[in-house]
Amino acid sequence: MPPNRRAACSRNARSKSCRSKSTGCIDRRRDATGYSSLRLQPDGSFFGDPIPPAPARSPAAMSSAPRRRSKRLGKVGHPPPRRPTGRGMTDTALFSLLLILVAPVAGSFLGVVIDRLPRGISVVAPRSACRSCGTILGARDLVPVLSYLRRRGRCRTCGAAIPPALLYTEIAATASAVLAVIVGDTPLQMALIALVLWLLWTLALIDLFHFRLPDPLTAPLFLAALAYAWLYGDPALALSGAAIGAGSFLLLRLVYSALRHREGLGLGDVKLMAGLGALVPPTDLPLLVLVAALSALVAAALTRGGWTADRPIPFGVALCAAGALVWLARVVLP
């Protein structure tokens, strides 16, 4: 091997970019002239082919290029909300704590709504008072949960029993807030989950005590469901679910009235199904109605006196419970 060829091979071997062939040594490094794959000839000369420049891509071609989609999709094809980091995590933790602290107060207000709204009384004025003696409740009587436990469920003036549903509502509101903090990823999602659960609880208790589902509660439920679908789901799918749910119950109501010549399903249930249909996908509506029907029949059979054909059933309670279960299952397991 000539000395110049041996020197070139030793240099290329040290750079780990040289491989020997019978025709010579290949150096794949580029020089200033833009040549690559330079081949060292026996006479010491190099030759190679110039590298053609890469074709420039137009902005239109770059915008039309397919983008890689995320493999981990959230509900109805939307990317799942990301867990906040850094300062966002601190803000989320503070909001979570604030939501849990405010929840008992919200539950106390919901108790006022449950008591006054079916009777047509304003939920703002007059001030809360004992329904037996009319004593205006002071600040020490309005502390959520603690006031009820300290007074042992009795009025401090006349000793009349305070409905335990007020205590249950405050506890349920707090539990709903804790569940929203566990399930939700962002403060807005936590707030919407807690709001929906609070509305469902309030509707269930009003239907249980008064056999009514007021419009001032079913309408906010529908709007909250649409807002949640707009942010974390598919608004078109939510609207179709609301139409299917409300339409099927309206048809069932008309058919029952035509066959039995009496009302078997109230319009409140129809409006409630509009909100529940916006919460869950249309494919989950049969499961929701089935769970609600079975739970309502079991609860009616276990009540005192059993169930008879002429005895009304607060079906809205079962619908609210089944809707909350199916919806939360979809939120946790999209």
| 244, 275 contact by CB (below 8 A) | no
pLDDT tens digits, residue range 62-111? 545 444 444 333 444 445 555 555 565 788 899 999 999 999 999 999 99
Tell me how far apart the alpha carbons of residues 170 and 108 are, in angstroms, rounded to a whole number.
6
* Arithmetic mean of pLDDT over the chain: 79
Provide the CA 95 distance to its chain's centre, in angstroms: 17
What length does the chain have? 334
Distance of CA 151 to the CA centre of its chain: 38
187 closest CA partner among 114, 95, 253: 95
Three-state secondary-structure class, residue 26: strand
Integer angstrom CA distances of residue 310 from 47, 48, 306, 332: 101, 98, 11, 39
The least confident of 107-121, 124-138, 193-207 is: 124-138
Q: Which two tokens stand for residue 256?
A: 């029952």
CA distances (Å), origin 300, targets 109, 127, 215:
29, 36, 25
pLDDT score, position 63: 47
Q: Taking a C-beta distance cutoff of 8 angstroms, is the pair 138, 164 a contact?
A: no
Helix (H, G, I), strand (E, B) or coil at 28: coil
Distances (CA, A) of 138 to 90, 127, 142, 271: 36, 9, 7, 37
Hey, what long-range contacts does 158-163 have (CB within 8 A, 24 or more apart)?
Answer: 158/130, 158/132, 158/133, 160/130, 160/131, 160/132, 160/133, 163/115
Residue 141: helix, strand or coil by DSSP?
helix
Select from 77, 328, 60, 74 the least CA-distant residue to 179. 328
pLDDT at 2 over 80: no
Rounded to whole angstroms, how far apart are CA atoms 136 and 66? 67
- The per-residue b/e assignment along 49-72, b for 16 or more CB within 10 angstroms, e otherwise, is eeeeeeeeeeeeeeeeeeeeeeee
Distance CA 208, CA 268 (A): 13
Cβ contacts of 10 within 8 Å, gap of 6 or more = none
Contacts of residue 195, defined as CB under 8 A and 6 or more positions apart, other chains included, come to 224
pLDDT in tens, 162-219: 888 889 999 999 999 999 999 998 999 999 999 999 999 999 999 999 999 999 999 9
Distance CA 247, CA 273 (A): 9
Q: How far is Cα 204 from Cα 185, in angstroms, rounded to an integer? A: 27
Q: Between 199 and 11, whose confidence is greater?
A: 199
Q: List pLDDT tens digits, range 13-43.
A: 444 444 444 444 444 444 444 444 455 555 5
**How crowded is the C-beta side of 216, counted as CA atoms within 13 Å?**
12
The domain segmentation of the chain, as residue ranges, is 3-41, 87-183, 212-334
Q: How far is CA 118 from the centre of its chain?
A: 29
